[in-house]
Structure 1
Amino acid sequence: MRKQPLFKRLAALAAPLAVAAVLSTPAAVSAKDYNMEHFWSAQPQGTAWVSGSGECWQSLHGPGDLEPCVAAAPPVPKEFTVRLNFEFDKYRIENVVNDSELARLDDYIAQVKQTPVRERISLTGHTDAKGSDAYNYQLGLRRAQAVQDYMISRGIPAQDIVSVESRGKSDMLPGVDIYSVEQRRVKINAEY
Protein backbone atom coordinates (compact mmCIF):
# COMPACT_ATOMS: atom_id res chain seq x y z
CA MET A 1 0.00 0.00 0.00
CA ARG A 2 1.35 3.34 -1.03
CA LYS A 3 1.41 6.14 1.52
CA GLN A 4 -0.10 9.54 0.56
CA PRO A 5 2.07 12.63 0.93
CA LEU A 6 1.57 14.62 4.12
CA PHE A 7 -0.01 17.65 2.40
CA LYS A 8 -2.77 15.45 0.86
CA ARG A 9 -3.56 13.89 4.24
CA LEU A 10 -3.74 17.33 5.86
CA ALA A 11 -5.97 18.68 3.05
CA ALA A 12 -8.37 15.79 3.56
CA LEU A 13 -8.62 16.66 7.26
CA ALA A 14 -8.88 20.44 6.72
CA ALA A 15 -12.22 20.46 4.85
CA PRO A 16 -14.31 18.86 7.65
CA LEU A 17 -12.60 21.06 10.23
CA ALA A 18 -13.41 24.21 8.23
CA VAL A 19 -17.08 23.22 7.98
CA ALA A 20 -17.24 22.55 11.72
CA ALA A 21 -15.66 25.94 12.47
CA VAL A 22 -18.20 27.79 10.32
CA LEU A 23 -21.12 25.96 11.88
CA SER A 24 -19.96 26.66 15.42
CA THR A 25 -19.40 30.40 14.81
CA PRO A 26 -22.35 32.59 15.93
CA ALA A 27 -24.34 34.06 13.05
CA ALA A 28 -23.62 37.68 12.23
CA VAL A 29 -27.33 38.47 12.44
CA SER A 30 -29.26 37.05 15.34
CA ALA A 31 -32.99 36.46 15.68
CA LYS A 32 -33.22 39.40 18.09
CA ASP A 33 -32.31 41.75 15.19
CA TYR A 34 -35.67 40.91 13.59
CA ASN A 35 -39.12 41.14 15.08
CA MET A 36 -39.90 37.48 14.36
CA GLU A 37 -43.38 37.92 15.87
CA HIS A 38 -44.43 39.89 12.78
CA PHE A 39 -42.21 38.18 10.20
CA TRP A 40 -45.11 36.80 8.11
CA SER A 41 -47.74 39.29 9.24
CA ALA A 42 -50.00 41.02 6.77
CA GLN A 43 -51.97 44.22 7.10
CA PRO A 44 -54.73 44.16 8.10
CA GLN A 45 -54.14 41.25 10.40
CA GLY A 46 -55.86 38.06 9.37
CA THR A 47 -55.49 38.75 5.66
CA ALA A 48 -54.77 35.80 3.41
CA TRP A 49 -53.05 36.12 0.07
CA VAL A 50 -51.45 34.05 -2.66
CA SER A 51 -47.71 34.42 -3.20
CA GLY A 52 -46.09 34.74 -6.62
CA SER A 53 -45.29 31.03 -6.54
CA GLY A 54 -48.95 30.12 -5.89
CA GLU A 55 -48.57 29.36 -2.17
CA CYS A 56 -51.27 30.48 0.22
CA TRP A 57 -50.12 32.61 3.19
CA GLN A 58 -52.17 33.92 6.07
CA SER A 59 -51.36 36.57 8.66
CA LEU A 60 -49.75 35.18 11.81
CA HIS A 61 -51.99 37.06 14.25
CA GLY A 62 -55.34 37.00 12.49
CA PRO A 63 -58.37 34.81 12.90
CA GLY A 64 -57.94 31.16 11.99
CA ASP A 65 -61.32 30.81 10.29
CA LEU A 66 -60.59 32.73 7.09
CA GLU A 67 -61.80 31.45 3.77
CA PRO A 68 -58.98 29.50 2.14
CA CYS A 69 -57.29 31.55 -0.52
CA VAL A 70 -57.51 30.16 -4.02
CA ALA A 71 -54.46 30.33 -6.23
CA ALA A 72 -55.04 31.81 -9.63
CA ALA A 73 -55.35 29.23 -12.37
CA PRO A 74 -52.20 28.82 -14.42
CA PRO A 75 -52.19 30.55 -17.81
CA VAL A 76 -54.28 28.68 -20.34
CA PRO A 77 -52.64 28.68 -23.74
CA LYS A 78 -54.91 29.03 -26.70
CA GLU A 79 -54.15 29.16 -30.34
CA PHE A 80 -55.76 31.12 -33.12
CA THR A 81 -54.38 30.65 -36.60
CA VAL A 82 -54.99 33.22 -39.28
CA ARG A 83 -54.34 32.03 -42.79
CA LEU A 84 -53.88 35.35 -44.44
CA ASN A 85 -52.99 34.56 -48.02
CA PHE A 86 -50.72 37.23 -49.38
CA GLU A 87 -50.10 38.19 -52.97
CA PHE A 88 -46.89 36.75 -54.38
CA ASP A 89 -43.83 38.27 -52.67
CA LYS A 90 -46.00 40.63 -50.57
CA TYR A 91 -46.36 41.02 -46.81
CA ARG A 92 -48.60 44.03 -46.14
CA ILE A 93 -52.11 43.63 -44.77
CA GLU A 94 -53.53 45.40 -47.83
CA ASN A 95 -52.02 42.61 -49.95
CA VAL A 96 -54.14 39.92 -48.26
CA VAL A 97 -56.26 38.18 -50.87
CA ASN A 98 -58.77 36.45 -48.58
CA ASP A 99 -60.91 39.06 -46.84
CA SER A 100 -62.76 36.43 -44.78
CA GLU A 101 -59.53 35.66 -42.86
CA LEU A 102 -59.00 39.35 -42.21
CA ALA A 103 -62.55 39.52 -40.83
CA ARG A 104 -61.71 36.57 -38.54
CA LEU A 105 -58.67 38.49 -37.28
CA ASP A 106 -60.86 41.54 -36.62
CA ASP A 107 -63.30 39.36 -34.62
CA TYR A 108 -60.42 37.95 -32.60
CA ILE A 109 -59.10 41.45 -31.85
CA ALA A 110 -62.57 42.55 -30.71
CA GLN A 111 -62.81 39.52 -28.37
CA VAL A 112 -59.38 40.21 -26.88
CA LYS A 113 -60.27 43.86 -26.25
CA GLN A 114 -63.53 42.89 -24.50
CA THR A 115 -61.93 40.51 -21.99
CA PRO A 116 -60.63 42.06 -18.76
CA VAL A 117 -57.70 39.64 -18.60
CA ARG A 118 -54.62 40.75 -20.50
CA GLU A 119 -53.25 38.22 -22.93
CA ARG A 120 -49.60 37.54 -23.77
CA ILE A 121 -49.68 37.20 -27.55
CA SER A 122 -47.05 35.53 -29.74
CA LEU A 123 -47.08 35.81 -33.53
CA THR A 124 -45.34 33.38 -35.88
CA GLY A 125 -45.16 33.91 -39.63
CA HIS A 126 -44.97 31.03 -42.11
CA THR A 127 -44.45 30.83 -45.87
CA ASP A 128 -44.84 28.25 -48.59
CA ALA A 129 -41.79 26.35 -49.85
CA LYS A 130 -40.94 28.62 -52.79
CA GLY A 131 -37.63 30.46 -52.40
CA SER A 132 -34.58 30.06 -50.20
CA ASP A 133 -34.62 29.45 -46.46
CA ALA A 134 -33.14 32.88 -45.74
CA TYR A 135 -35.61 34.70 -47.98
CA ASN A 136 -38.61 32.83 -46.59
CA TYR A 137 -37.49 33.47 -43.02
CA GLN A 138 -37.46 37.22 -43.68
CA LEU A 139 -40.77 37.08 -45.56
CA GLY A 140 -42.44 35.16 -42.72
CA LEU A 141 -41.08 37.71 -40.23
CA ARG A 142 -42.40 40.63 -42.31
CA ARG A 143 -45.83 39.01 -42.44
CA ALA A 144 -45.87 38.47 -38.67
CA GLN A 145 -44.76 42.08 -38.14
CA ALA A 146 -47.53 43.27 -40.47
CA VAL A 147 -50.09 41.41 -38.33
CA GLN A 148 -48.49 42.90 -35.20
CA ASP A 149 -48.77 46.43 -36.62
CA TYR A 150 -52.35 45.77 -37.66
CA MET A 151 -53.33 44.46 -34.22
CA ILE A 152 -51.74 47.46 -32.49
CA SER A 153 -53.51 49.85 -34.87
CA ARG A 154 -56.81 48.17 -33.90
CA GLY A 155 -56.25 48.67 -30.15
CA ILE A 156 -54.18 45.75 -28.88
CA PRO A 157 -51.54 47.15 -26.47
CA ALA A 158 -48.05 46.76 -27.95
CA GLN A 159 -46.72 45.31 -24.69
CA ASP A 160 -49.26 42.46 -24.93
CA ILE A 161 -47.51 41.18 -28.08
CA VAL A 162 -44.52 39.53 -26.47
CA SER A 163 -43.04 37.65 -29.42
CA VAL A 164 -42.92 38.14 -33.18
CA GLU A 165 -41.01 35.47 -35.08
CA SER A 166 -40.78 33.52 -38.31
CA ARG A 167 -40.58 29.84 -39.15
CA GLY A 168 -40.20 30.64 -42.83
CA LYS A 169 -40.81 27.48 -44.81
CA SER A 170 -40.22 25.10 -41.90
CA ASP A 171 -43.21 23.67 -40.00
CA MET A 172 -45.36 23.09 -43.07
CA LEU A 173 -49.01 22.20 -42.56
CA PRO A 174 -49.32 18.41 -42.84
CA GLY A 175 -51.45 17.11 -45.68
CA VAL A 176 -51.25 20.43 -47.57
CA ASP A 177 -49.19 20.98 -50.70
CA ILE A 178 -45.96 22.70 -49.63
CA TYR A 179 -46.34 25.24 -52.44
CA SER A 180 -49.98 26.04 -51.61
CA VAL A 181 -51.06 29.49 -50.55
CA GLU A 182 -52.53 27.78 -47.45
CA GLN A 183 -48.98 27.45 -46.10
CA ARG A 184 -48.72 31.26 -45.97
CA ARG A 185 -50.12 31.96 -42.55
CA VAL A 186 -49.56 33.78 -39.28
CA LYS A 187 -50.14 31.78 -36.13
CA ILE A 188 -51.25 33.61 -33.00
CA ASN A 189 -50.67 31.96 -29.61
CA ALA A 190 -52.06 33.62 -26.51
CA GLU A 191 -51.78 32.98 -22.79
CA TYR A 192 -53.97 34.55 -20.15
Structure 2
Amino acid sequence: MQTCALVCHPACAPLAVSGVEARWGIVGPWLQLRWRVEGAARVILPPFAGRERQDGLWQATCFEMFVQPAGGTAYAEYNFSPSEAYAAYDFATWREGMAERPLSHAPVISPRKGIGLFLFDVAIPLADLPALPAALSLTCVIEEEGGAKSYWAMDHGRSPQPDFHQAACFAASLAATETP
Protein backbone atom coordinates (compact mmCIF):
# COMPACT_ATOMS: atom_id res chain seq x y z
CA MET A 1 0.00 0.00 0.00
CA GLN A 2 1.16 3.53 -0.74
CA THR A 3 0.40 6.33 1.72
CA CYS A 4 0.12 10.10 1.36
CA ALA A 5 -0.75 12.84 3.85
CA LEU A 6 -3.46 15.05 2.39
CA VAL A 7 -3.24 18.83 2.67
CA CYS A 8 -6.13 21.04 3.72
CA HIS A 9 -6.90 23.93 1.37
CA PRO A 10 -5.94 27.14 3.25
CA ALA A 11 -9.19 28.92 2.28
CA CYS A 12 -11.29 26.37 4.24
CA ALA A 13 -9.69 25.50 7.57
CA PRO A 14 -11.09 22.62 9.65
CA LEU A 15 -12.43 23.11 13.17
CA ALA A 16 -11.07 20.01 14.90
CA VAL A 17 -9.73 17.72 12.17
CA SER A 18 -5.96 17.68 12.55
CA GLY A 19 -4.97 15.53 9.60
CA VAL A 20 -6.07 13.22 6.81
CA GLU A 21 -4.02 10.39 5.35
CA ALA A 22 -4.87 8.38 2.22
CA ARG A 23 -3.64 4.88 1.32
CA TRP A 24 -4.09 2.89 -1.86
CA GLY A 25 -3.01 -0.39 -3.38
CA ILE A 26 -4.07 -3.13 -5.75
CA VAL A 27 -5.04 -6.45 -4.19
CA GLY A 28 -6.03 -9.09 -6.73
CA PRO A 29 -8.76 -7.64 -8.97
CA TRP A 30 -9.51 -4.78 -6.54
CA LEU A 31 -8.19 -1.30 -5.82
CA GLN A 32 -8.29 -0.79 -2.07
CA LEU A 33 -8.44 2.71 -0.61
CA ARG A 34 -8.33 4.01 2.95
CA TRP A 35 -8.70 7.51 4.34
CA ARG A 36 -7.73 8.09 7.97
CA VAL A 37 -9.14 11.25 9.56
CA GLU A 38 -7.53 12.42 12.82
CA GLY A 39 -9.41 14.73 15.19
CA ALA A 40 -12.74 13.42 13.89
CA ALA A 41 -14.87 13.90 17.02
CA ARG A 42 -16.91 16.72 15.38
CA VAL A 43 -17.11 15.22 11.88
CA ILE A 44 -20.67 14.93 10.58
CA LEU A 45 -21.41 11.67 8.78
CA PRO A 46 -24.38 11.44 6.40
CA PRO A 47 -27.02 8.88 7.45
CA PHE A 48 -26.96 5.38 5.96
CA ALA A 49 -28.38 5.29 2.42
CA GLY A 50 -27.16 1.89 1.26
CA ARG A 51 -25.09 1.03 -1.78
CA GLU A 52 -26.81 3.16 -4.37
CA ARG A 53 -25.77 5.73 -6.92
CA GLN A 54 -26.41 9.28 -5.79
CA ASP A 55 -25.39 12.70 -7.09
CA GLY A 56 -24.23 15.63 -4.94
CA LEU A 57 -22.34 13.54 -2.39
CA TRP A 58 -19.55 16.17 -2.25
CA GLN A 59 -21.95 18.56 -0.49
CA ALA A 60 -21.37 16.66 2.79
CA THR A 61 -18.53 14.52 4.16
CA CYS A 62 -17.33 12.64 1.07
CA PHE A 63 -14.22 10.84 -0.10
CA GLU A 64 -13.16 11.10 -3.72
CA MET A 65 -10.82 9.52 -6.23
CA PHE A 66 -9.81 10.86 -9.64
CA VAL A 67 -8.03 8.67 -12.21
CA GLN A 68 -6.50 9.99 -15.44
CA PRO A 69 -4.93 7.47 -17.85
CA ALA A 70 -1.37 8.31 -18.86
CA GLY A 71 -1.03 10.59 -21.88
CA GLY A 72 -4.65 11.75 -22.04
CA THR A 73 -6.91 14.57 -20.93
CA ALA A 74 -9.94 12.40 -20.07
CA TYR A 75 -10.37 11.31 -16.46
CA ALA A 76 -12.84 9.58 -14.14
CA GLU A 77 -14.18 10.87 -10.83
CA TYR A 78 -15.51 8.62 -8.07
CA ASN A 79 -17.38 9.86 -4.99
CA PHE A 80 -17.80 7.64 -1.93
CA SER A 81 -19.99 8.65 1.01
CA PRO A 82 -19.99 7.34 4.58
CA SER A 83 -23.72 6.77 3.88
CA GLU A 84 -22.43 4.01 1.51
CA ALA A 85 -23.85 5.85 -1.51
CA TYR A 86 -21.48 6.42 -4.41
CA ALA A 87 -21.17 8.14 -7.78
CA ALA A 88 -18.87 7.79 -10.79
CA TYR A 89 -18.39 10.15 -13.72
CA ASP A 90 -16.26 10.43 -16.84
CA PHE A 91 -14.90 13.76 -18.08
CA ALA A 92 -13.51 14.35 -21.58
CA THR A 93 -11.22 17.10 -20.28
CA TRP A 94 -11.05 19.49 -17.29
CA ARG A 95 -14.68 19.78 -16.05
CA GLU A 96 -16.06 19.23 -19.58
CA GLY A 97 -17.93 16.37 -21.23
CA MET A 98 -19.29 14.90 -17.99
CA ALA A 99 -21.14 11.59 -18.29
CA GLU A 100 -22.15 8.92 -15.80
CA ARG A 101 -19.47 6.22 -15.62
CA PRO A 102 -20.89 2.68 -15.67
CA LEU A 103 -19.70 0.36 -12.89
CA SER A 104 -19.86 -3.43 -12.94
CA HIS A 105 -20.18 -3.62 -9.17
CA ALA A 106 -21.08 -1.17 -6.42
CA PRO A 107 -17.96 -0.15 -4.47
CA VAL A 108 -17.59 -1.84 -1.10
CA ILE A 109 -17.65 0.99 1.44
CA SER A 110 -16.77 0.50 5.12
CA PRO A 111 -16.86 3.56 7.42
CA ARG A 112 -15.67 3.22 11.05
CA LYS A 113 -15.73 6.05 13.57
CA GLY A 114 -14.04 5.90 16.95
CA ILE A 115 -13.16 8.53 19.51
CA GLY A 116 -11.31 11.20 17.55
CA LEU A 117 -10.57 8.88 14.61
CA PHE A 118 -12.49 8.03 11.46
CA LEU A 119 -11.42 5.30 9.03
CA PHE A 120 -13.03 5.07 5.63
CA ASP A 121 -12.29 2.01 3.47
CA VAL A 122 -13.34 1.47 -0.14
CA ALA A 123 -12.74 -1.44 -2.50
CA ILE A 124 -13.54 -0.99 -6.18
CA PRO A 125 -12.99 -3.50 -9.01
CA LEU A 126 -10.00 -2.67 -11.21
CA ALA A 127 -12.29 -3.35 -14.18
CA ASP A 128 -14.24 -0.19 -13.23
CA LEU A 129 -11.19 2.07 -13.57
CA PRO A 130 -9.86 3.73 -16.73
CA ALA A 131 -6.80 2.19 -18.36
CA LEU A 132 -3.71 1.88 -16.16
CA PRO A 133 -1.08 3.23 -15.68
CA ALA A 134 -2.76 6.44 -14.61
CA ALA A 135 -2.35 9.59 -12.56
CA LEU A 136 -4.24 9.37 -9.28
CA SER A 137 -5.78 11.92 -6.95
CA LEU A 138 -7.32 11.07 -3.59
CA THR A 139 -9.28 13.86 -1.92
CA CYS A 140 -12.04 14.45 0.61
CA VAL A 141 -14.55 16.98 1.84
CA ILE A 142 -14.96 16.94 5.63
CA GLU A 143 -18.02 18.55 7.18
CA GLU A 144 -17.87 19.29 10.90
CA GLU A 145 -20.47 20.40 13.41
CA GLY A 146 -21.56 23.97 12.77
CA GLY A 147 -21.41 23.51 8.98
CA ALA A 148 -17.66 24.06 8.55
CA LYS A 149 -16.22 22.23 5.53
CA SER A 150 -12.58 21.55 4.83
CA TYR A 151 -11.18 20.31 1.53
CA TRP A 152 -8.23 17.90 1.54
CA ALA A 153 -6.10 16.82 -1.43
CA MET A 154 -2.66 15.45 -2.24
CA ASP A 155 -1.88 18.91 -3.66
CA HIS A 156 -4.01 21.99 -4.30
CA GLY A 157 -1.62 23.82 -6.59
CA ARG A 158 -2.11 27.59 -6.48
CA SER A 159 -5.88 27.62 -6.78
CA PRO A 160 -7.41 30.30 -4.50
CA GLN A 161 -10.43 28.01 -3.95
CA PRO A 162 -10.56 24.20 -3.65
CA ASP A 163 -10.82 22.47 -7.04
CA PHE A 164 -10.16 18.74 -7.00
CA HIS A 165 -10.37 18.59 -10.81
CA GLN A 166 -7.22 20.65 -11.44
CA ALA A 167 -4.04 18.97 -12.68
CA ALA A 168 -2.05 19.69 -9.50
CA CYS A 169 -4.32 17.34 -7.53
CA PHE A 170 -3.20 14.34 -9.65
CA ALA A 171 -0.07 13.96 -7.54
CA ALA A 172 0.26 10.15 -7.41
CA SER A 173 0.33 7.28 -9.85
CA LEU A 174 -1.43 3.98 -10.14
CA ALA A 175 0.38 1.24 -12.03
CA ALA A 176 -1.26 -1.85 -13.47
CA THR A 177 1.31 -4.11 -11.78
CA GLU A 178 1.16 -2.51 -8.32
CA THR A 179 1.09 -4.83 -5.31
CA PRO A 180 0.42 -4.08 -1.65
> What TM-score do the two structures reach when normalised by structure 2?
0.27
> What TM-score do the two structures reach when normalised by structure 1?
0.26
Bigger helix fraction? 1
Bigger strand fraction? 2
- Larger Rg belongs to: 1
RCO comparison, higher one (Cα < 8 Å, 6+): 2
